[in-house]
Every structure is written in C-alpha cells, then in structure tokens.
Structure 1
C-alpha cells in the first residue's frame, strides 16, 4: 500500500524579500527533508503575497528564477512544492512548482485569478487552463492554488483523474468569520468530489492584509483531521497511508471565539508591519479614551513593553479621569510614559492666528488645532527616535470623518482603522480577560474627544449602535439610503451618515494604512472617487 509523509510549512514570508524567503525555505528543507517525502510551502512563497507591481520588474523575475534553482538543488532528500510567479514567454503565471534534485518535475498554473475586493491578480497574471496531478510513491495528488478551490470546475476536472487527495496552497487574507467561510467552501468541494483536501495557508501581516494561517486537513466525508493555529507560524507532519490522511499534531479543536481571532490578527499585523519595515519601536498618544487604550494593548502584545512609548498630551479640557486612567494603564503595561501639556503651544498658535481670525466665531478650527498640536509632538518624537507613530482612530470615526487631518490622523500605521467602535469595546473587554490591562472606567465612560467642555461623541454622531449598523449596510454591503431606512433606521440619521461617509473620502485617502478585519475595509476593498456627484444626483431624485 502506498505511503507518503508530508510537511506543511505554515510560515511568514515577506513581500519582495526573495533572498530571505528563499533562505527560510532552504532552512526548512535542511531541517525537515530527511523525515518527509514532500515539503509544501504557500502560494507565492518566494516573493511573498501580494507582490503587486514588483511583478512588473525584470530583475525580480530573474531573482525568482535563481531562487527556484536553489530550492530545486536543495531538494535532494525530498520533493519541495512551492508557489512563485513564473514567466513563460511573454506571459506571467501564478505557479506551483514540484521540485526535486535540480529538476522541476511538474508545474501547475492557477486557473481562477481573483480580481475583487483586495485582489488584483488579473492585472498581473494569465490564467492557467490545465489540471495537474503529481504522483509520488504511488500516491496521486491533485494540485490547486487558492481561488481555484472557491469554484467547482477546477476540482471537478481533477476528480475525474483518479486522485487520492487535493493539495491546495493559499494566500488567503483574514477577515471576520473567514475561517468558517473557508470550511464551508472546502466541505462543498469535498461533497462534490469525494476527495480529501489538504489546505495550506500563508501566515503573516502585509500592509493592510493579515494572513492568518489556520491551515486545515479535511477527509473525504468533510470532517476535519487537523487544524493549524490561527495567526501563528508552524510546521506539521501529515501522512497518507492505507488510503487515508493522518495527522498526529494539531487535531481539530473548538475554534477560539471571534474576538480572540480579531485581536490576534491585529497583534500580528502590528508586529509584522513594525518589524518588517525596520522600526525600533512605536509611539502613540494615550488619551485616557477607549481607542488609544486598545491600541496600546495591541502594541505591547505585538512588540513588548520596551518598544512602546505612550504620550499623554493634556489640555484644559482633559479630565482628571483621563489623566489617571492613562497613567494607570501605562504603568500596568510597563511602557515608557510621558506627559506633555499642549496648552502653551496652542496659545502660541492662537496668538499668531488671532489677527487672521478677526471677526470669526470660535468653532471646530480651535478643536482641530489642539489635535494638530498633538500630531506635531508625536511626529517630532518619531523623527528623533525612529519609532513609528501608531494612530488610534477606529473605523466608525474614519467613515464619518470624526478625526483631524494632520492631527490624530498623523502616523504610519493604524491598528484599529478597520475596527468599528462597538467592536473596539468588545475587544477591550476581551483583552482584559487575558490579564489586567485597560482600566474599567475607560470602557464604561461615554466616549469623548475632550476637545471642548463636557463634550461627548453623541453630540456630533448618532448612537454608535445605530452608526455602526448603518455603516455596515452602506459601506460593506452597498445598500441604498432607501433600503437602510426600510430596515428600521431614522431617515435623518441615515442621510446624515451617508453624506459624511461620501464627504470624507478625501480624508481617508490621506490616512495611515491599517489591517483589514471586516468584510470590506477602507483601502483595497473600497475604492471610491473623491470627486463624485453620484450622491447629489440621487438626492435630487429623492433617493
């Protein structure tokens, strides 16, 4: 009876780091090659995913070819299956190569190229059209790449070719409930084909994308045989014997809750963005509010307290509660904590601006100036220390423009940019279950920017419960005003929120990148024009 031992390498590859990615692959081959017949790496592992317009460079193509040759030469004790871009003539394919002892035994080209949401593969790649089956030690393995499994046809053709199981390499980004979606798709493919599936996913942060790993092995009845960790790199062994797949490590388990998955994804995103871009640490404004409190917790869990600096920048409207809670959290987490009052610099600005503001009423200009003083301080610290400024705005604020350009939007990475306000509170509560972190008063108190006396967010925005639901329908599901109102929301609130979302596209274009965790983020997922009269025309038509 045919037997086969495989190693699944759920690892973290950096985009463009062809030398280092190849070194990681070669290291894995040296350590695992003698114990396994086949070692498998994720989609586009050699270049990292997504390489975007790096794929248009001729020098990248040559570097990839050299890497494939090195990997093939190193695969002396085992077969290596790895993803990479491959030029054939003048065409570029998303390829999966089967390498052994200096030769490419087989090469499969991805057939379904996603071109929706965060994906742009049709910009670069040509789709393949042929199925490929790799046979080794008498075991027949059908090859697939990521999106291929989300469509029935590629596997239907494979299943007709007497395969023993399907091997799919993937770079599938995380979002809420994504693991359940994947399992549903895999079970559908198993139901259609009656073939087991080995699903290997990439793991790591890449700008606004988080690849969560969570690779799985599923038998021909749709039952999970193995489930690799969420947001953790790992290697695992898998065997095929007596016509069945077996995995001794990472048996299927009850998945951790959605809040844990989101939190871990945010931590991974911050860790990889900071470390892969070479920053020695991060600095952020700690206001005593919920958003900066959660951002600080994520930063410390991602990088360690010694690489995080928190700065309180009080003004005359800053409450004693905010001062106390910010200092308490900073000391609890053990980060460097500094307090720099902004009133002197604000007064200097106003002294210079007063002649120019003659006859004008006090308005949000003065509020924004407070925020911009804070932005100047944080950016100065960043320039002096090399640390990256983390912005602390959430998705609800980014949606309606409840943030100040060149103020609290200053920074290089926005950890909770795609986290709606209510989810911010839920994540804060979850983080406190792991250990003392965020003062309970921060969670319980009404949210406020503290830019004016007795100010609370509800002075300017609908209740966050309604706001987040309206935003989800409009931003993530493209519902019309009429449909949202029909779902039970106040027409006045809906029209106001929709108007704010449309008006503030220009702000979001200037905001820091942040990790995607919802079904549709502001960034790659949602690409709206800044100058647009679409909403105005609908309003004229009464819609």
Structure 2
C-alpha cells in the first residue's frame, strides 16, 4: 500500500482502491475527553494501516445512550468542542467519521461528523428517530430532512445513522443522489436474536440499492443496555464480506475495489457467532463489568443462600471481575438447612471466592422483642418472613458501606415480575445481573456455564455450580419446609404465562386458549400489576429481551384495569 501514502502522513488514495478502518469500541457516557482519546488512538492505528477513513459508531464522543443529559446545552457545547479539537489532531492521516450531537439554529441533531485535513468537512443528521423500546430520540432530537452522501477522498459515501438504515427511503435517497457505498454507524443494544434482525434489514438495503454496506456497532454496557458489536460488511447482493466478533472491542481494516459493477469489498475475516446461551451470558458478564468499571467500583458482595439464583450471580460476578473481587456472605436463620450451608460453601470454594457468615438470629430476636407489644395476639406470617429478608438486606448494605463493595441483588425475572421478593430486603443492591432472565433460563444458563468456559471468563472452568444446587426445589427458607411452589405455580408454568402476558402482550383469553388454567393466569396477572411499585424501586440489570423491566415496559404504579377476556 506504499503507493497510497502521501506527504506529512496524509493519504492520497489510489483511484480504484479505498481502505476503511472499522472501530468497534466501547465509549463511556459523559467521558468526552476519554472517548476522544479512544478515537484518536484508533485513528493512529488506522494511519499505520494505510486507511483512507476510520469510522466510529453513532454518538461516540458522548457515549450512548445519553438520555436527557443531551438536553443540557453545556454538555452539547462541550461535546462539539471535543469534536472540533479532534479534527485538528487528525489533520495528517486518514479522515475520521464520528458520531456526536450538533446544536444548530436552535435545533438539536443526532449527527455524524466527517473530519478531514484538520477540519470538520461535512455533518450528516439522523432522519429516522426511534421512539420505541429503550429509545426516546423524538424527545431529544430534531428529525433532519433526507440527505445525500458525503465525499470522502473522492468517494461518495452515504452515512445513514443507525435507525435510518432500517428504513428504505433513507438509503434510497442516498443512492439516488450519488452514493457509491453505504456506511452505517450504530448504537444498537443487544436483545436475544438481535443480530439476525439487523442482518435481515441490512441485506434488504443492499438488495434495494445495489450498494455495498458497512454496519458498524459499538460495544460495552451502559446502565441496562449492552452494545454487542457484531459489525459486518455486505457486498452487492447481500454476500457477507466481513464479520467482526460480538461483544469484543476490535479494529478491522477492509479494502474496497472499484469494479465495472461498482465498489466491492475484499472478503476478510468471518467470525462465527456464539449460541444464544453464550450471548445472554456474555451480555450479563459485560453488563456487570462495565457497570462496575464505569461507576468506579472494583469489588462486589452478595448474599449466597445455597440456591441457584445467588449461585449464578456469584458466577457471573467472578467471571466479570475475578473471584478475588467477589465476596459472598451467608446469612443463616433457624430455617436455613445444613444442605444450604454446605451448598453455599461449595459454590464459593469452586469459584474461588471468599465466603463469610453472619447469622441473623440475634438481630431477628431483637426486632421480635421490639415489636412484641404491637404484635401481641397476632399470628405470625408474611410480616415475620419479610423481617428476615430485610435484616439480611440491612446487614449486607452495612458491609457494602463499610468495605466499599457494591451489593448485587439476585432476583430472577420471574420473581421480579410477580413480586416474589422483599423490597428493602433481598431487593437491596446496586445491580442485578439476572433481572431480565426468567427462572427456567437460569437453570439452562447454569448448566451451560458448567459445561463451557471462554477466555473472557475470569472464574475457573468446569463445574462451578454443583448439580445439587441446580436440581433441588427452589426455596426462600423463611419458614419450615418452605418451597417456592407453595406460593407460585411451578416455574415452567409461571414463566410460560409471564412470557405471554409480558413479552408478547397477550390477553388472558389467549393464555387460556394456550392451555393454561384461567384462575392461575388471572392470579399471575394480578401479581404482575400489584408488583409495579417494587420494580419501580428495583436495581438496574442487563437487558436481554425486548420486554425488560424499566425502559422497555413502562406501566403505571396505580392501575385498576384488569383483563376480563
């Protein structure tokens, strides 16, 4: 590629060749200087590789999503200033395309900047603003008119920004106004099966326009959203020319050659896609890892009960942070079985995590004594069970405060959905790695993790969750011989109903038509609605589905409507 190198590190492109560097990187929301440095470091590698252009994801300078932070004018001014300064830094070398906000004529745009020769040479604006699921872009930005391509070293490139590429008219307008290729910058968060959805839309754009297409996505966790990368390049007709890995930060250099039939990408590395179980597990690990790193925490603690939920959370934490940064605490009562104590000990030992024990017997006796005059003559029941859970939450939060460890909570999506959790008790904590995973998937995930190990996992390989923990009947152990099935339908039934009511927005009648008992369905529906106030106060956790609790599903706390179908 020596014939492409110009003076002072700049590039003069050979007429029929174009080299692109795709920067699949992990920005941090609000770290404007840090994100600019990530972009500059990648630009230096692109320059060494002889690239004509380095491309970064949507809203990279600010991180994504910024939500209402972008409505603060000074934040936008600071972001634009960083892009201006970055343009000066990348004067001698490849052009850079990078996402960020732009305030112009009293309007705010989700913008994509082209930096070349020390200047901002072009700025494109997003036309299609997503306003569904986790997206509120209509709230934040102005929809721009349809736009044409930008000229990059003599090549006309259309830059449809993320959602723009999901709509035929945007790509069509760019093609009709002279675009020779489509480069799509994205901030596309993960949900189960998302990659196939993206691919089908992008293939459609390639077939419709007859142009090659680059799909660049970011990676990393931001609150509940996990950006999974998986960037790729398609040639005319939809043939895959490059496939980058899911979840990993990476740079890929890809060459395009002008042919009699237009530009064509030279086929590069095609990375295989992992199975669904691995993608979900990786999302939970990366979500926790980035939530910790980006908020400044390095260590976690959690209550380890001997049950499956706390076992998988401990495993996720050990894989994300290293076993030495995970402390488990057993908080037994008189109802805690010897088996649970042994199982908790075995999980901690297999993972290599420290295990402490703090009995709640003394605090429980003190609370019972303090409340005795008020509770005299009343039967024991749920109140006394919840006191145990809240004492555990109190003792765990005290340790979190004292030792500077973030407390992880361990409720699965089934429990979060029906409120089978104690607010200010076992719901206490700063993050919940399994918040969007139904109980039946927890079982499957434990078995998958025992059988599989990957380089990005920091905990030991092999069986880390004993089969007995997976196979025994779930129990909260708040009263003698208690089982979850005493209060809830069997999880196979419960999860199937919840998936219909929540994930698929089905009616009660449709659940009954699917074979479920109407009384059971109505009871589950009731529990879901009356538990909204708990979810409103629950810890965040990684989004694995299109109906994760928080931004995907926004229901009122006060709600008297019930489905009478």
Q: CA deviation at 1:191?
A: 2.2
1:145 — aligned with what? 161
Secondary structure at the aligned position of 1:72 is classed as helix
Deviation at 1:180, TM superposition (A): 1.0
Quick check: 2:148–2:179 contact (8 Å CA) kept in 1? no
Residues 458-494 of structure 1: CA deviation (Å, up to 9, x unaligned): 1111111111111111112221111221122110110
RMSD (CA atoms): 1.2
For 1:241, the equivalent position in structure 2 comes to: 257
Residue by residue over 1:289-343, the C-alpha shift from the partner in whole angstroms, topping out at 9 and shown as x without a partner, is 1100000010011111111101111111112221111111111111111111111
Q: Specify the alignment match of 1:525 in structure 2.
A: 552
Q: In structure 1, the residue corresponding to 2:252 is in which secondary structure?
A: strand
Cα deviations across residues 344-364 of structure 1 (Å, max 9, x unaligned)? 111111111111111111111
Q: 2:153, 2:40 → 1: CA distance?
A: 23
How far apart, in 1, do the equivalents of 2:155 and 2:76 lie?
33
- The answer to whether the aligner puts 1:160 opposite 2:176 as a matched pair is yes
TM-score, normalization by structure 2: 0.93
Whole-Å separation in 2 of the counterparts to 1:72 and 1:84: 13
Matched, 1:337 2:355: yes
Q: Distance in 1 between matches of 2:287 and 2:183?
A: 27
Deviations 1:130-153 (A, max 9, x none): 323123344322111110111111
Bigger drift between 108-117 and 338-347 goes to 338-347
Higher deviation after alignment, 109-118 or 67-76: 67-76
**Structure 1: 5+ residue stretches without partners:** none
Query: CA–CA distance in 1 between the matches of 2:340 and 2:109?
Result: 55
Deviation, 1:436, is 2.2
Match of 1:481 in 2: 508
- Could you tell me which runs of 5 or more consecutive residues in structure 2 were left unpaired when the two chains were aligned: 1-14, 453-461
- Which residue of 302, 308, 312 maps to 1:290? 308
Q: Does 1:498 align with 2:513?
A: no
Q: What is the deviation of 1:78?
A: 0.9
Deviates more, 1:483-492 or 1:287-296: 483-492
Which TM-score applies when normalising by structure 1?
0.97
The residue number in structure 2 matching 1:303 is 321
Partner residue, 1:278: 296
Residue 473 of structure 2 is aligned to residue 437 of structure 1: no
Partner of 2:456: none
Give the superposition deviation at 1:183. 1.0
**Residue aligned with 2:374, SS:** coil
Kindly tell me the number of residue pairs found equivalent between the two proteins: 536
Question: 1:38 — aligned with what?
Answer: 53
Hey, what's the Cα distance between the residues in 2 that align with 1:126 and 1:499? Answer: 40
The alignment status of 1:422 with 2:440, answered yes or no, reads yes
Could you tell me which residue of structure 2 aligns to residue 352 of structure 1?
A: 370
CA distance in 1, matches of 2:346, 2:323: 14
- The alignment status of 1:205 with 2:210, answered yes or no, reads no
In structure 2, distance between residues paired with 1:188 and 1:462: 44
Aligned counterpart for 1:461 among listed residues 488, 500, 504: 488
**SS of corresponding position for 1:355:** helix
Corresponding residue SS for 1:33? helix
For the pair 1:229 / 2:257, whether they are aligned, the reply is: no
Contact 1:2/1:139, CA 8 A, preserved across alignment: no
Q: How does 1:118-197 map to 2 (within 5 A)?
A: 118-197=134-213
Distance 1:163 1:92 in 2: 25
